[in-house]
Amino acid sequence: MDALDISRWQFGIITVYHYIFVPITIGLSFLVAGIQTAWVRTGKERYLRATKFWGKLFLINFAIGVVTGIVQEFQFGMNWSSYSRFVGDIFGAPLAIEGLLAFFLESTFLGLWIFGWDKLPRRVHLATIWIAATGTLLSAYFILAANSWMQHPVGWTMGDGRAELTSIWAVLTNSTTLVTFPHTITACFLTAGALLIAVSAWHLKRGSQDDVFRPSLRLGAWVVLVAGLGVMITGDVQARVMTEQQPMKMASAEALYDNTSSASFSLFTIGSLDGSEELYSVRIPSLLSFMATGDPSGEVEGINDLQAEYVDRYGPGDYVPNVPVAYWSFRLMIGFGVLAMVIAAAALWFTRGERRPASRWLWIAAGSTVAMPLLANAFGWIFTEMGRQPWSVFGLFKTADSGSPSVSTAEAATSLIVLTLVYGVLAVVEFALIIKYAKAGAPEIEPPAEHDADKPLAFAY
């Protein structure tokens, strides 16, 4: 491997690792805010205990997410300097807005939430977590706007051999951003809901703190189901926009080599790795055409036809992404997301009323729920980025031209090894803290004599 390949591996590893924390942070911030709202409105102690418990897990996750996210931006200068020089005028704008506006908003008000329990009136304190949660949404939007520009560049012109910004509004209202944002955010809620199911199941299996964790489990299950439905609807819209803008990505997702009408979608295929030779497959008729065009009989362009078209448009070259990666990451993304919804539905069914599941396997399934959306998220981003290749900015700038010429293979390899080891240590720290505080359960709190939403809570975090 050369320095470019190593840099791609490093960026992929760090991105997938960082995105473990992002969806939990976004989704859990709103769930904690909702639970605290229930406490402020009702004064019931179990809501306060649940707020404290889930809030602590949220803070641990937020802290590690910030640390790992900072490295993301440093990579653009270290390993991708050619890319940064070419698109920095555009790509840097939404990232700067995210840092100066959204991140400061969420971090400032999160600090007020952490230290304001016994200092701020309860309604004011409640507002701080809602504002911090809103900040996570804004952060996500601006970052997705930057990534969406890589998928579908708009609001730019070429000047002095580099892309220059002509309209920040066009970048922020990119059609790709408008469909990617709701799809991503609903997936964040699905992930946070799955965390509630997994941790709550662990406690309920041991018969501890049912007053906190039974409602938490059922809340998480409902969130997973509703958010999962949202992921499906927004994903359907996103697939059609993607097909219009990057038809090669959709063709690679099905390993479809020739233009096909009423194209079927294969759930599972046995054959050559690149899908060019098929021995056996399980297919749903016309589903790919419906996903790509909204019409079950619509025509989906194939890899061979698109390759010829791209050669005419962009010049000689191989414009086909890694088909096995695109094919399987697309299916694993869908499969793990659906599996999380199935477990959530089972959790609701088997805990209805005051029922407690007796089957050990049901508890194991519930406890593993959080892994499902995390894997779905990872495979979703792998598909998004690998399916765009060979472009770093689709149709405009190739990945092969995006690296840092001054970075040697040895330097890139050293960076990859060191960062992987450091991130491995951070993973141990993160999961050790999460497991420790998750096992500790909700704190026992002596409630105040009277419930007054305008008075601070005399309880330090």
Predicted confidence at residue 461, as pLDDT, reads 41
Structure tokens at 244: 């219009």
- Tell me if 319 sits within 8 A of 310, measured CB to CB: yes
Predicted confidence at residue 51, as pLDDT, reads 93
Sequence-separated (6 or more) residues with CB below 8 Å from residue 316: none
> Omega of the bond prior to 390 within 30 degrees of 0, cis?
yes
**Model confidence over 26-58: pLDDT tens digits?**
999 999 999 999 999 998 899 999 999 999 999
Write down the domain spans for the chain: 3-245+327-440, 247-320
Selection from 406, 447, 422, 435 nearest residue 13 by Cα: 422
> What does DSSP assign to residue 103?
I
In this structure, which amino acid lies at residue 44?
Answer: K
Predicted confidence at residue 330, as pLDDT, reads 93
How far, in Å, CA of 447 to CA of 445, rounded?
Answer: 6
Residue indicated by tokens 């002095």: 160
Which parts of the chain have pLDDT scores under 70?
209, 446-461
157-162's contacts with Cβ under 8 Å and 24+ in sequence apart are: 161/86, 162/85, 162/86, 162/87, 162/88, 162/89
> What does DSSP assign to residue 400?
G
Selection from 103, 124, 126, 112 nearest residue 25 by Cα: 103
**Model confidence over 386-432: pLDDT tens digits?**
999 999 999 999 999 988 888 899 999 998 999 889 888 888 888 89
